Structure 1
Amino acid sequence: MAQTRSDDENKYSKSLYFNYPALDVSLAFPQATPASIFPPCTSDYYQFANLLTPEEQALRLKVRECVERDVAPIMTKYWEKAEFPFPVVPKLGALNIAGGTIKGYGCPGLSITANAIVTAELARVDASCSSFILFHRSTMLTISLYGSEVQKQKYLSSLAKLDTIACMGITEPGYGSDANGLRTTATKVEGGWVLEGQKRWLGNSTFADVLIITAKNKNTSQINCFIIKKNAPGLQATKIENNIGLRMMQNGDVLLQKVFVPDEDRLPGVNSFQDISKVLGLSRVMAAWQPIGITMGVYDMCHRYLKERKQFGAPLAAFQINQQKLVQMLANVQAMFLMGWRLCKLCESGKMTPGQASLGKSWITLRGRETVALGRELLGGNGILSDFLVAKAGLHELVYL
C-alpha cells in the first residue's frame, strides 16, 4: 500500500529543495585559478627574449596581451561546444599578424622568427586560434608567391585584415602525406575550369570566404591551384564532427561537384607539386612552433597550480617528485625553443633543408607530447578538466604526431 507524505514532510521537503541557499561551488570545492585567468609567463627560463629583436619582443608582448585578455576567458566555453570563437576574429585582425611574412598589400612583412613567435603566443593560450591563423596565413602566402598581380591586389589586403577568411585545400580522403597523388581534377572549358573531387581536414573550410584548391590538370597531368569563392555552385563544405582535438578549429570535408572556376582565378605560378613545396616547408616550421607555444602554456599553468594547490598541509610545489616533473617540463620547453629558433634562422638565411624542417618538427612534437603528459600527471584529477588547460592542450598535441 502506497504511503503518503504528511503536511509537515511536504513542508520540510519544499524548504530543503527550494529554499536552501544556493551553493557556491568555487567555495565548496576549492581548486586553483582556472586558465580563463591565464597564468603569467614563467617558461622563458633561459631568457629566450634576448635572442629577439626589439620589434620581435614588442610583437610578442602585444600578441600575448591580446590572447590572454580576449581569448583565455572564452576558450573553454567554445571548446566544450566545438564552435569557433568568431568574436575574437576582429581582435586578431587588429594585431595585423595574418599577413605574416608577406610584404605590401596591407601585410606586415614580419621576419620568419616574428611569424613563429606569433604562432607560439597564440598556441600558448589556445592552439585552435593558432591553427586558424596558420591555415589562413598559408593560403595568403600561396597567393603572394604564385598569384598574379591582379590576384594579389584583389585578395591580400582584405585577407590581411581578416575581413575575409581563407582556407588551403591540399589533403584528400585517400591522400595526406602523399599529396602528389591527389585525385581532384581540373578540366579546361571555355572561359575557365571545372573542378571535381574531394578534400578533407581543411581548416577554416566551413566558413572561409576564399579557398585555394589543388587539382590535377586533366590535359597536362600537372598540379594547378585555383581560387574558389564561398557559395560557388557545386561547392559543399561540411564540418568533421566528433573531433576531440582541435575542437574550436573547424576542420571540414569539401566536395567539389563540377565547380566552375574562371580563368582569372587560377594561380599562374603553380604547375607542379614542387611549386607549393616552399609554402609547405615554411608551414612545417610554423607548425613546429605550435607545440612550443602549447608547452609554454602547460608549463605556466602547472607552475601556478602547484603553488596554489595544497595537500598534506603544503603546496604541491613543495614535494620533490612534483619538482622533478616540473623541471623536466621546463627543460623540454627551453630545448624546444632553441631548436625552433635555429630552424627560423636557417630558414631566414635560405639554408634550411626539408630534412632539417622535418627533423625539427618531429623532435619538437615528441618533446611536446612528453611535456603535456607530465603536466597531466601533476594536475591529478583536475588534469582532465578543460578549465585547467592541460587536458585540452594534450588533445591538441595529438594533432602533431
Structure 2
Amino acid sequence: MAERQHEIDPAAVEGDFYHVKDLLEGDERKKLDRVRTFLVDRVAPRANELWEAGESPLYLRDEIRDLDITGTYADDHSIAPRSYLLTGLLGMEMSRVDPSFATFFGVHAGLAMGAIRECGSEEQKQRWLPPMVRWEKIGAFGLTEPLVGSGAALGLLTTARRDGDDWVLDGEKKWIGNATFADLVVIWARDVDDDEVKAFVVEKGTPGLTARALEGKIALRGVQNAHIVLDGVRVPEENRLRHAESFRDTARVLKVTRGGVAWSATGCAVGAYEAARAYAVEREQFGRPIAGFQLVQDLLARMLANITACQGMVVRMAALHEQDRLGDAQAALAKMFCTTRMRETVAWAREVLGGNGILLEHDAARFFADAEALYSYEGTRDMNSLIVGRAVTGYSAFV
C-alpha cells in the first residue's frame, strides 16, 4: 500500500518550529536574513575544511565588517541600533552554521569589546572600539589560567605590579580564543598591592608576551585558542581599564557573554538537528528513507522539543535584557539549561546518522564535537547551577 504523503512544515525543517524569527520586524528581520545568507554562502562551504585544519576565517574580516553587526551604536555612531533579540538570533544563526565561527566572532565582539565597553574610560573606548568595529584590530580576552578556571573569582595567579607610570604583568593564561593573531588582549590580573582584579589592554608585539596555539583540540577547532605567557610585560597606566577594579567588574562582562553562549548552544543544537533531518530523509535502509521509521522520528521530535524550549528561554532572556532586568542568575540558568539540552540534542543527531555520524562530511560530527566546548566555557554547568542556587537560597556553595 502506498504511503500517505504529508506536507512538510518549513519552520520545522529549519529548527524554528514556533516561528521565533517572526518576532523580528522590518530592518531587523532583513538584517538577520542578510547575515543568514552570508553564513550559508561564505561560511558554511569551508566550515569543515577550516575545522579540520584548525584555522580561523580571518580572510572574511572585511565581509564581516560590512554586515554591520559588530559592536553597538555607542561604540560607533555608524552602527545601526540593534535589539538584544536580534543580537541573540544573530549568534544563534552563526552557531547553527558553524560554532567555531560564532566563537571567533564572539570573542572579539562580545568578550574583548564588551570588556572595553563596560570597563574602559571614554577615552579608552574611543581609542580602541571604533577600529575594532571595523575589524582593523581584533581582540581577545584573557581570564582563564592553566591552574585557575572556575576559581577565578577567588584569586587569579597572574599578577600586576605598579612600577612608576607602568604596570608589570607576570603569569599565564590558557584557552584564550583569537590570541595567536589578536592585535590586543584584555588581560585580567590580581593587583599585588590591594589584591583586587584589574584589567589591562596588552597590545600585540609587547615584549614579554607570547601566545602559543593549543594543539590536539577536539572541539571548536576553527578557533585559535592560545596558551599565553606574560613574563615581565610592561603596560602603560593608560592601558589599564579605568572601571575594572574588582572581579565584580569581570562578572558584568560575563553576564552578557554567558547569555550569548545560551544562544550559541541553541544554534549548535539547531545545526545538528538540521543535519540529522536532512540525512534522515535521504538515507535509505530496508527499502525506504530512515525518516519514515518511528525511532528516527522520535529522536527528531525530541531534538526539536529541546531546541524550542531553549529558544523560549533565550527569547525571554533577551526581553529582560532589553528592560535592564537581566540578572547574573538568569543568564547562568540559560547557559546551564541550553548547553545541557544542546549536548543531549547533538548526541541524538549523531545517533540518527549511525556510523556516518563521525564523518565531517555530514556536519553532525562537527556539531557533536563543538558542543563539548560550549558546554564548558563561560562557566561549567556545575558552576552556573551554583550561581542559580545561591540566588534561590541566599547561601553560597562555591567552597
| Shared fold per TM-score greater than 0.5 | yes
Matched residue SS, 1:96: coil
Pair 104,84 (structure 1): closer, same or farther in 2 beyond 3 Å = closer
- Out of 114, 118, 128, the residue aligned to residue 145 of structure 1 is 118
Q: Is the 8 A contact 1:105 1:156 kept in 2?
A: no
CA distance in 1, matches of 2:67, 2:13: 20
- The equivalent position to 1:80 in structure 2, one of 45, 52, 55, is 52
Letter paired with 2:120: G
SS in 2 for 1:71: helix
Distance 1:229 1:42 in 2: 42
SS at match of 2:15: coil
Moved more, 350-359 or 188-197: 350-359
Q: Match of 2:137, SS?
A: coil
Q: Secondary structure of the residue that 2:132 maps to in structure 1? A: helix
Question: Could you tell me how far apart the structure 2 residues matched to 1:65 and 1:387 are?
Answer: 21
Deviation at 1:90, TM superposition (A): 2.2
Relative to the length of structure 1, the TM-score reads: 0.87
Counterpart for residue 284 of structure 1: 258
Cα distance change on mapping 1:146 and 1:105 into 2, 3 Å: farther
CA contact (8 A) 1:123 1:290 kept: yes
Q: Which residue is equivalent to 2:311?
A: 337
CA offsets 1:3-58 (integer angstroms, 9 cap, x no match): xxxxxxxxxxxxxxxxxxxxxxxxxxxxxxxxxxxx99621111112222333322
CA pair 172-357 structure 1, distance change in 2 beyond 3 A: same
Q: Percent identity at matched positions?
A: 37
SS of the residue corresponding to residue 317 of structure 2 reads helix
Structure 1 stretches of 5 or more lacking a match?
A: 1-38
Match of 2:92 among 114, 120, 136: 120
The Cα shift of 1:344 comes to 1.3
Q: Partners of 2:80 and 2:103 in 1: how far apart?
A: 19
Q: Where do 5+ consecutive residues of structure 2 fail to align?
A: 1-10, 377-399
- For the pair shown, the structure with the greater C-alpha radius of gyration is 1
Shift of residue 88, structure 1, vs aligned partner: 2.2
Q: Which amino acid aligns with 1:190?
A: G
> Residues 74 and 395 from structure 1, CA distance in 2 versus in 1: closer, same or farther, beyond 3 angstroms?
same
Give the secondary structure class of the aligned counterpart of 1:215.
strand
* Alignment match, 1:19: none
Secondary structure, counterpart of 1:237 in structure 2: strand
**Cα drift, residue 81 of structure 1:** 1.2
Matched, 1:321 2:289: no
The C-alpha deviation readout for 1:341-390, integer Å capped at 9, x for no partner, is 11111122122222221111111111111111111111112111111111
1:269 aligns with 2:240: no
Matched residues, number:
363
Check if 1:173 corresponds to 2:170.
no
User: What's the counterpart of residue 279 of structure 2?
Assistant: 305
SS at match of 2:222: coil
Q: Which residue of structure 2 lines up, in the alignment, with residue 47 of structure 1?
A: 19
- In the alignment, which residue of structure 2 is the partner of 1:17? none
Name the CA distance, whole Å, in 1 between partners of 2:320 and 2:185. Answer: 30
The answer to whether the 8 A contact 1:98-1:160 is kept is yes
TM-score normalised by the chain length of structure 2 = 0.87
Note the C-alpha offset of 1:105.
5.4
Per-residue CA shift, 1:301-356, capped at 9, x if unaligned? 22222111222221111112111111111111111111111111112212222222
- Amino acid corresponding to residue 150 of structure 1 in structure 2: E
Match in the other structure for 1:163: 136
Runs of 4 or more, structure 1, over 6 Å off, are none
Output the aligned Cα RMSD: 1.7
Task: Give the aligned partner of residue 397 of structure 2.
Answer: none
